[in-house]
Amino acid sequence: MTANPAEEMATAYEPGAVEGRVYEAWEQSGAFRPNRPGADPFTIIQPPPNLTGELHVGHALTTAVEDALIRWHRMKGDDALWLPGVDHAAIAVNAIIERQLRDDGLSRHDIGREEFLKRVWEFVNASRSRIAEQHRRLGASADWEREAFTMDEERERAVRLTFKKLYDDGLIYRAERLINWDPVSQTAVSDIEVEYEDVESAFWHVRYPILDEDGNKTDRYVVIATTRPETIPADTAVAVNPEDDRYRDLVGRQVLVPTVDRPVTVIADEAVEIEGGSGALKVTPGHDPVDFEIGERHGLEIINILNLDGTLNENAGKYAGMDRDEARQRLVADLEDAGLLEKTEPYTHAVGHSERTGAVVEPLISLQWWVKIQPLADPAIDAVKDGRIKFVPERFERTYLHWMENIRDWCISRQIWWGHRIPVWYCDDCDHMTVGLTDPTFCESCEGSNIHQDEDTLDTWFSSGLWPHSTLGWPDLDAPDLKRFYPTQVMETGYDIIFFWVARMIMMSMYNMKDAVAQGIVDDDVPFKHVYMHGLVRAADGSKMSKSKGTAVDPLGAVDQYGSDALRFALLSGTSPGNDQRLSDERLEAGRNFANKLWNASRFALGMVEDGDDLALPDPAGMPVEDRWVLSRLNQVNQNVERLLGRFELAEALRQTRDFFWDEFADWYIEVAKVRVRAGDRSPLPVLVHVVDRSLRLLHPFMPFVTEEIWQRLAAIAPDPEGADALIVARFPEAQATLIDESAEASFEAVQEFVRAIRNIRVEKRVDAGRWVEAYVVGATAADTATALSPAIEQLARARPLHVVATPADAPTEGVVTSVLAVGQVALPMAGLFDLDAERERIGKQIAEAEGEVAGLEKKLANDQFTSRAPAEVVQRERDRLETTQSRLAGLRQSLAEIG
């Protein structure tokens, strides 16, 4: 006899012995490459993780979700492409290298740009290979031959061409405007890279002396409330609402700026709220966005009092050289000494912090490069409104549209060295700017060679915004991948970067791909059809994961401990579009337990197969009810899974498949089949093999390693009818409506009810687990099924002898414990459950104890000394004890009466 491959399976699943070997086989077979030119394409471009070292659990969730979708579509027969890549993470990586330099007592300026970038490249190359290996360990079936990097040559070409196109179209400009300045990384950051945190501070009510016509102080003041007194030296006006009667006579007059004694004019502007504070506003155009706009309307001088490191400069007078906090304290003290501080009120308000460094950002006037965003935003808004791009869940469409309809011009220049350097060269002879696709050697205007490149780099999100089309070969419109796989089908990412990235991909892709649409190369300029937004992975207590608090889950550590499939199970079973989830050891253990259950149940089922067994599924019409039941349930689940995956409800699809395999197939059908096979009936074998095969296929997108390993053993027994040599490329099952049998389900569910009822009575009466008990099954409508399955009922309920009767009259009514069910009833003679004399003695002792306790409590509660003097809660607690004990006593007496 040929050895059964199931006999070689270990008694427990060992992921460490399986995962590396299986992944290598997949990769070497070419399974990750799209190779079905006649099939529909299905494409996901992987959100590129930052090259900052290690993958975190959020990356693991992204990998699990996207890999599940790709594996499903690959098994459906689609031409599936999952294109991986990494992001250069400009500010984050720049900060890492600068921190390393500071540890050596150096700065980037000490070593120069060339040496600095050399160190960066060494870091990112090591990080890049490490991240790719981590993705492999998570089971990512990505086409690694197509891996892209936001700083490689192809992406560099795409970035430069996009910059030049935008510049030539008048959509990129250079201007001195108010920006968000990060004084730690010393670079501009965009509005969406600013996170607002509540900070306990104060409102300082400051007096601004009113001057007379000769410029002398009067005894009158304008009182202005501010949360940032350190910016007072940069004030260039005081503004009031033109409709505010309190200040109508002051418009056009001058007031004196405290601490610097600079006269400024009182102006009228509708931006000032009459009801807000005192109704007067200090105008600081150099350090506040609202003030900047007021200053532009009124032609006000702009004074900058900040150095790039956040300290105050010479324009701050005697506060020059101080950091912002020190300057605030000194200035407030000076105001108080001068009698110009009217009062101070505690105040909590939202303060902008850099998303990258955590530093308080400062509004600062700076010469920067900008994208005129509205012409790009309008088509991107229309694409969502007309349904060409759909958000999952749908509520994020409103979030997206609200932001896009209120979007501001995008500051794209950053004052760091790592990243795409702005492709602009300045002529030192004629001041002309040359924007080039390649590095020029001379000025395009005067042809002089005395030119130098802009020192700044582009915002990371500029190159990331090109990701869906630059990874497919753009700007080469003849690129095969661009023609074949654009637009992509799904962009899956976290809801926290809907503005950072998703919106910019839509805008930039539609801008760049409109020519390809016009030439008939692609059918739409949108970058993807669906945006699937997953939530954040939080710690078990719902808090944000933190390494310092010990609540962060290391995904690779979890793989080492539990296995990749267990981690994927834990993440996918908890994910819901747009909602956060909690990851705990219990969830990881549940994943590992299910992988083991899948392994052992499959090992047992396949292990029953012998040479010569006919494994072809026979005509269902002639099958026993339990066979028809399990096939019906399998196809019901199959049908649901297809529908749920199509709606991105991965967690529910996984739950239903898991529950079917464990709770129905393993716990019920295998046990029933075991009884038949041991009796010499080989007919369950085709059903066992079929259900294992289909279950492995349904589960493969979620738990690829364990399912592949089991399926290889199954395929050795029952080869795939379509010739697939690996589960990863086998056909995903399609539900067979003809096998859905509601009658068989109802009949077998009746049998399940009988078994559960007998088991429940055994538990309630504390019957020893190994004891056989006599039982009567009364099944008015299910008697035939129960009779046919009586050997299985005997084994599952440990009921022997088992009597299956049609009516209650055929079963004893005295000295029995009865359970009435919707499908009939079960009755168990007391004498078969335990030793009646011993049970009477045991219950009698418990009754005596309960009676004594009741008597004591009644006596205590009848004592007025206790009830009147003891605390009310103590008295109530004793009354509750009495009620509970009386109820227990009644139950014991009933139990004694039942056994006679």
Could you report the per-residue pLDDT of 477-492, keeping only the tens digit for each? 999 999 999 999 999 9
What is the distance between the alpha carbons of residues 752 and 758, in angstroms, rounded to a whole number?
A: 10
Average pLDDT over residues 559-564: 96
Check if the beta carbon of residue 728 is closer than 8 Å to that of residue 74.
yes
Could you report the per-residue pLDDT of 177-203, keeping only the tens digit for each? 888 999 988 888 888 788 888 899 999
CB neighbour list of residue 254: distance below 8 Å, 6 or more residues apart: 210, 211, 215, 263, 264, 265, 266
CB neighbour list of residue 782: distance below 8 Å, 6 or more residues apart: 747, 750, 751, 754, 823, 824
- Is the omega angle on the peptide bond into residue 791 within 30 degrees of 0, that is, cis? no
Could you report the per-residue pLDDT of 594-633, keeping only the tens digit for each? 999 999 999 999 999 998 899 999 999 899 999 999 999 9
Tokens 């190159």 belong to residue: 463
Q: According to DSSP H, which parts of 30-146 are helical?
A: 57-76, 90-103, 108-137
Q: Which helix (H) or strand (E) holds 816?
A: strand 816-821
pLDDT value of position 738: 94
pLDDT value of position 794: 93
Q: Is the pLDDT of residue 166 over 50?
A: yes
What is the distance between the alpha carbons of residues 18 and 24, in angstroms, rounded to a whole number?
A: 10
For residue 155, give Cα distances in angstroms to 49, 87, 417, 476, 504: 16, 11, 18, 12, 16
Instruction: Kindly report the average pLDDT of the chain as a whole number.
Output: 92
DSSP state of 499: I
Distance of CA 388 to the CA centre of its chain: 24
pLDDT value of position 818: 84
Q: Provide the pairing of β-strand 85-86 with 148-149.
A: parallel
For residue 253, give Cα distances in angstroms to 215, 217, 249, 266, 841: 10, 12, 8, 6, 104
Compute the half-sphere exposure of residue 760: CA atoms within 13 Å on the CB side of its CA.
14
Torsion sign over Cα 733, 735, 739, 744 = positive
Q: Is the pLDDT of residue 392 over 90?
A: yes
- Using pLDDT thresholds of 50, 70 and 90, give the confidence band for residue 546: low
Could you report the per-residue pLDDT of 62-78, keeping only the tens digit for each? 999 999 999 999 999 99
pLDDT value of position 573: 94
Check if the beta carbon of residue 568 is closer than 8 Å to that of residue 591.
yes
Check if the beta carbon of residue 224 is closer than 8 Å to that of residue 277.
yes
Compute the half-sphere exposure of residue 496: CA atoms within 13 Å on the CB side of its CA.
10
Q: What is the rounded radius of gyration, in angstroms, for the C-alpha atoms of the chain?
A: 37
Average pLDDT over residues 254-265: 94
Share of residues in the chain with pLDDT > 70 (%): 97
What is the distance between the alpha carbons of residues 792 and 630, in angstroms, rounded to a whole number?
A: 15
Q: Is the pLDDT of residue 541 over 80?
A: no
Could you report the per-residue pLDDT of 842-878, keeping only the tens digit for each? 778 888 998 999 999 999 899 988 888 888 888 899 9
pLDDT value of position 780: 64
Rounding to the nearest 10 degrees, give the CA dihedral for residues 633, 634, 636, 638.
160
More confident position, 451 or 817: 451
Average pLDDT over residues 247-275: 92
SS3 of 558-571: HHHHHCHHHHHHHH
Q: Is the pLDDT of residue 719 over 60?
A: yes
Q: Which helix (H) or strand (E) holds 252?
A: none
Rounding to the nearest 10 degrees, give the CA dihedral for residues 571, 576, 581, 584.
-30
pLDDT value of position 893: 84
What is the distance between the alpha carbons of residues 573 and 506, in angstroms, rounded to a whole number?
A: 30
- Using pLDDT thresholds of 50, 70 and 90, give the confidence band for residue 832: low
- Using pLDDT thresholds of 50, 70 and 90, give the confidence band for residue 2: very low
- Using pLDDT thresholds of 50, 70 and 90, give the confidence band for residue 834: low
Q: According to DSSP H, which parts of 679-720 are helical?
A: 684-699, 704-717
pLDDT value of position 782: 77
DSSP state of 343: E
Question: How buried is 89 (Cβ within 10 angstroms: 0-12 exposed, 13-18 middle, 19+ buried)?
Answer: buried
Q: Is the pLDDT of residue 547 over 70?
A: no
pLDDT value of position 897: 78
- Using pLDDT thresholds of 50, 70 and 90, give the confidence band for residue 1: very low
pTM of the predicted model as reported, rounded to 2 decimal places: 0.85
What is the distance between the alpha carbons of residues 473 and 481, in angstroms, rounded to a whole number?
A: 7
What backbone phi and psi angles, to 5 degrees, belong to 377? -70, -35
Compute the half-sphere exposure of residue 168: CA atoms within 13 Å on the CB side of its CA.
11
